[in-house]
Structure 1
Amino acid sequence: MNSGALKRTLVADLQYDPKFSDCKEKLFPIISRSTINCVPQWKFATRSNQHWENVEIRVPIPLMTKATELKDKIDRLVYYVYEEDDEYAIQDVELRPQIIYSDIEPEVSNDVEFDRIQDVLIQGIRDAKYLIWVAVAWFSNEVLYQELLKKKQNGIHIRIIISDEDSNQNLLQGLKENFECVVVPHSGVWGTNRMHDKFCIVDLDYIMHGSYNWTKAANYNGETLVTTVDRNLVKKFADEFLKIYNENK
């Protein structure tokens, strides 16, 4: 099976298939950050001229212990998604450490979501291990607010930048009391220019950005959310975040 297609399908299935809702939070960070290879074997499988192949999951070394503990669930997911054809059938799923190269470019990956954006944001928040920086013009989504509160209780460093909008008032007191929150006033000759960013940085590792404001109403609009793993791009967003934050704190 095509390795790239298999990984994309595994990630999507974890996001949307209720069959794996019991282990989604644990498996998603592992599968999404792993390299997946379909490795042909020399022995014939069940069809004429069909060979076995192993699905090799190259897991980032810091996640190997967790992946090993969850091997049965990973196997269940891979066998469920894998598509057999006339050339290959799955024989085994192997967990191996992701190779560390010093002479290759850092990992860069991008994806875009048009539906169920709130779910993607929630997963991104839950994946955070160290910090979450949010810059969003409108923030009135109670579900996302509660997810941030849970992460704060686990010691995650959280900063939030929002625009000075009437619709932000409902959550404003809670945002200020619980997080390092900055409110950016309107500017310009007529006082109508506003901070209009919509991005979230997680662990200075990846970024979620697009048209989606953190409001309940945004779940019913036509919106986009791009998720990007690219240290150079994340650095640029982080620099912009600090600029806005320091100018308005």
Structure 2
Amino acid sequence: MTEIEYRRLLIDSVRAGDYEDKDALLELLNICSLRFERTNVFTRNLWNHCKENIQVCIVPDKMVELKKHFDYLKELIYEIYPPNDDYELWDVEIKPGSMPDIEDVSQEILFENIRNQIIEEIRAAKYMIWISVAWFTDPVLYQELLKKKQQGLVIEIALDDCDRNHNAEFSLEDDFSVYWITVQSYYKNIMHEKFCVIDLYTSIHGTFNWTKAASFNKEHISIDKNHSTAAAFADEFMRLKNKDVWNT
């Protein structure tokens, strides 16, 4: 396993865990890099294995903050350390270092528990949320967005201009910037895109509409974490919001 792969595994493990300061630790790990320090010194514990130290490197002015999480971080690093034929993990250290020059790229495909995962991503948002879905009638997701609005996030929504959305049990227009999309042709068409962009980094896309019924359907989503995918969906959102009627 490479240093990049191990760093990604560490971040995913923290994200999936129940550490009480998970959000603060994830924010720090996103600006950390990992370094394997492999030695020629035998451990005298596992046969023919040498000592390997893992250094968690972070910019100096964030070291004190990261050290607050050291006990949990060290325990987790030992837990996820992959067995191998050459090295044994011997120690974990926090060291000063520069920002990582790699982008943490990940993709997760989900077929179950989709709404809960969307809620988790909404709660992790820090700056902005852009949503484009055919139908939005789920009051649970609506309430999660309201909480983020109260924190100061910019939230905008593009929706198909149809009775189903207008007759929802809540009014999105009362709380958010909503863009009603009309698709016009010889036939009855709808704006059927389903995606969400969070902080211009996380993209959620697939078959899942933000409705109560969708949680009981057979659906899927992909959660992509990288700037290039998020930018592509953000560009599409800008095209949707700036065109009143789409002709097909």
Q: TM-score range by the shorter chain?
A: 0.7 to 0.9
1:109 is aligned, of 105, 111, 119, to 105
The alpha carbon displacement at 1:200 in A equals: 1.5
Q: Is the 8 A contact 2:56 2:93 kept in 1?
A: yes
1:81–1:141 CA distance, 2 compared to 1 (3 A)? farther
Aligned-partner SS, 2:231: helix
1:58-94 per-residue CA deviation (whole Å, 9 max, x = no partner) reads 4588976653432333223222322334422222333
Q: Is the 8 A contact 2:200 2:227 kept in 1?
A: no
1:216–1:56 CA distance, 2 compared to 1 (3 A)? farther
Aligned-partner SS, 2:243: helix
1:47 corresponds in structure 2 to 46
| Cα distance in 2 between the residues matched to 1:160 and 1:226 | 18
2:209 matches 1:210: no
Q: Is the 8 A contact 1:133 1:160 kept in 2?
A: yes
Q: Which structure has the greater CA radius of gyration?
A: 2
1:202-235 per-residue CA deviation (whole Å, 9 max, x = no partner) reads 222332222222234333423131313034x433
Letter in 1 for 2:10: L
Letter in 1 for 2:143: Q
Aligned-partner SS, 1:238: helix
Q: Is the 8 A contact 1:117 1:225 kept in 2?
A: no
| Cα distance in 2 between the residues matched to 1:100 and 1:24 | 20
2:146 matches 1:149: yes
| Cα distance in 2 between the residues matched to 1:124 and 1:200 | 10
Structure 2 counterparts to residues 208-247 of structure 1, below 5 A:
208-220=204-216, 221-231=218-228, 233-247=229-243
1:193–1:59 CA distance, 2 compared to 1 (3 A)? farther
Alignment length, in residue pairs?
240
2:188 matches 1:179: no
1:92 corresponds in structure 2 to 91
The alpha carbon displacement at 1:4 in A equals: 5.1
1:29–1:198 CA distance, 2 compared to 1 (3 A)? farther
Q: Is the 8 A contact 2:33 2:99 kept in 1?
A: no
1:96-135 per-residue CA deviation (whole Å, 9 max, x = no partner) reads 544465xxxx736231222433343233222322211111
Letter in 1 for 2:106: N
Listed as ranges, the gaps of 5+ residues in structure 2 are: none
Q: Is the 8 A contact 2:128 2:155 kept in 1?
A: yes
The alpha carbon displacement at 1:152 in A equals: 1.0
1:107–1:125 CA distance, 2 compared to 1 (3 A)? same
Letter in 2 for 1:162: L
Q: Is the 8 A contact 1:211 1:225 kept in 2?
A: no
Aligned-partner SS, 1:213: coil
The TM-score, its normalising length taken from structure 1, stands at 0.78
Letter in 2 for 1:164: D
1:166-185 per-residue CA deviation (whole Å, 9 max, x = no partner) reads 44332551x21111112223
1:136 corresponds in structure 2 to 133
More helix by percentage: 1
